[in-house]
Amino acid sequence: MKQAWLDNLLKAMGRERLIDSAQHQGLLELEGSPWWLSLLLGAAAWLSALMIGGAFFMPVMLLADGPWGQMLVGVLMLGASVWLFRQSGLFSAQLALAFSLGGQLIVVIALVQGLDLPTYRLSYPALISALLAAALFWMPATALHRMLCALLVLGNTAVLIGAGPALALYGLLLASAAVVGWLARAHWALAGLAQWLRPLLNAATLVALALMLFGHQSVMEMLWQRLGAGTVHHWLPLFYRLGAGLLLLGVGLWLLRNSGRQRLLLLVPLFLLCLLLNQAPGLLVSAALGLAAWQAGSRLWSAVAPVFALGYLGELYYSLHLSLLDKSLVLVLSGMGLLVLRWLALRWIGRLS
């Protein structure tokens, strides 16, 4: 079954002229390593990175004392990672990943100290880290390295924006872009840019899921005070809820685009569900991203998004800005709405198929 699926995929790539016949046959005969072997090789690579760093890079750092000596060590580690990524094998790829992440950290610290930038402000190291990760994102490397670089860029961008209304807009726009990316996967999966889009999409999905924590009012007020963003604007929680609800409705509308007039009846319980769970925009965004990833065939995010949804549901239940009676009624009515939505979907969509 797996061999037939792989053969069909490689034939489609051949029609798009992404691979030739020799590469087709080579990829078809390629057998993946067992997961336990990949895990052992990854652990050995990271342990080797620590040993090599201690044996070679640490003496260089001690001899060239000061931030610019640290900069030299960081640049050497980044250069070693570029060379290792060009080699074949899982061990060299994991070793290169360890050198790249360690080198980026050392370069950022060295620049902050060498330029005498204030350490109490996170914006300076965040800007340096984002620019460095953006540059390394485009070098020939593994998909995991590209995803981690994209995570650094998107995460540090959130730090640069800071707590406030702009962060809400950034989080919702990022979630919308991730949803559109997953729903359009069939159009870019076989394109040449897929090697760049897939890691970027994975990073955008993770950052969007995490940023929705700021959309919960109780958490928002606590974080705003600790981050020194002042008081929460009275319209900001409403903005989060409205954006998350519209995103989930948009995904539902797109998934039901071929269901005819029944689409409107199926959207009614979904709309009521958005109203009931408007206090938990993170739950709504997790549901939207999970549905989009499931439609795109991503098993990873189809499993990870419900975990975030469960966490946001738990935050809603244990939050103090709603009474226990109100939360119980919301959960009961939401569960009934989901059951009705499932019953309608099985009845009408089953007829259409």
**Which residue from 108, 113, 151 is spatially nearest to 132, judged by alpha carbons?**
108
How much is the pLDDT for 137? 93
Q: For residue 120, how far is the Cα from the chain centroid?
A: 27
Give the helix, strand, coil percentages of the chain, each rounded to 5.
Answer: 80, 0, 20
How much is the pLDDT for 1? 39
Cβ neighbours of residue 156 closer than 8 Å, sequence gap 6 or more: 126, 127, 129, 130, 133
How much is the pLDDT for 352? 47
Cβ neighbours of residue 318 closer than 8 Å, sequence gap 6 or more: none
How much is the pLDDT for 238? 83
CA pair distance 5, 91, nearest whole angstrom: 28
How much is the pLDDT for 147? 93
Q: Do residues 195 and 270 make contact, with C-beta atoms less than 8 angstroms apart?
A: no
- Give the residue carrying structure tokens 């925009």: 281
**Which residue from 290, 287, 263 is spatially nearest to 276, judged by alpha carbons?**
287
How much is the pLDDT for 25? 57
For the chain, the straight-line distance linking the first and the last C-alpha, in angstroms and rounded, comes to 24
Q: Do residues 168 and 235 make contact, with C-beta atoms less than 8 angstroms apart?
A: no
Neighbours of 109 (CB within 10 A): 17
Structure tokens at 145: 């390295």
Q: Do residues 70 and 95 make contact, with C-beta atoms less than 8 angstroms apart?
A: no
CA pair distance 82, 122, nearest whole angstrom: 28
Q: Do residues 201 and 178 make contact, with C-beta atoms less than 8 angstroms apart?
A: yes
For residue 270, the number of C-alpha atoms closer than 13 Å in the C-beta half-sphere is: 26
**Which residue from 276, 288, 311 is spatially nearest to 175, judged by alpha carbons?**
288
CA pair distance 97, 46, nearest whole angstrom: 9
Determine whether 302 is exposed, middle or buried from the number of CB atoms within 10 Å of its CB (0-12, 13-18, 19+): middle
Structure tokens at 88: 């074949």
CA pair distance 208, 11, nearest whole angstrom: 34
pLDDT averages per 10-residue partition of the chain, 353 residues? 55 64 55 57 68 66 71 86 83 83 89 79 88 92 91 94 84 94 86 85 94 77 64 74 90 78 69 81 91 89 91 79 74 79 69 50
Alpha-carbon torsion 275, 278, 281, 287, what sign? Answer: negative
Nearest-Å Rg of the Cα atoms of the chain is: 24
Q: Do residues 93 and 44 make contact, with C-beta atoms less than 8 angstroms apart?
A: no
Determine whether 57 is exposed, middle or buried from the number of CB atoms within 10 Å of its CB (0-12, 13-18, 19+): buried
Q: Do residues 65 and 48 make contact, with C-beta atoms less than 8 angstroms apart?
A: no
CA pair distance 162, 227, nearest whole angstrom: 8
Q: Do residues 202 and 147 make contact, with C-beta atoms less than 8 angstroms apart?
A: yes
